[in-house]
Amino acid sequence: MKPEVYITAAGRWEKYNKRRTLMCHNCGKKLERLICKKCKSEIKIRQHILTDFLIGAYDLHLDRQTIVTNDKGYYSSYFPELNITTVE
């Protein structure tokens, strides 16, 4: 892969980590915070891993810029430039 792919993936990964919220996999809507009933601490859940960002960045740098996924909300939020096709 070209270095630009890694740079793009790292930038989007950083943006994702700063947001760190639960997100609907279908529409991208942010979900409410999860709070522990015992200690009242916020529970943070990561829904994506770095490879998801490498896939998106790789597709972004291809000529066609198209991705097939079941996770339209995620890719439309972090890679809005992609043409997203979903499989139902």
User: Which one has a higher pLDDT value, 18 or 7?
Assistant: 7
Q: pLDDT-based confidence at 28, cuts 50/70/90?
A: confident
First to last CA, the chain: 30
Q: What's the pLDDT score for residue 73?
A: 83
Q: Number of C-alpha atoms within 13 angstroms, CB side, residue 75?
A: 24
Instruction: Name the pLDDT band for 63 (thresholds 50, 70, 90).
Output: confident
pLDDT digits (tens, 9 = 90+) for 32-50: 777 888 888 877 665 678 8
pLDDT at residue 54 is higher than 70: yes
**Token pair belonging to 85:** 């096709």
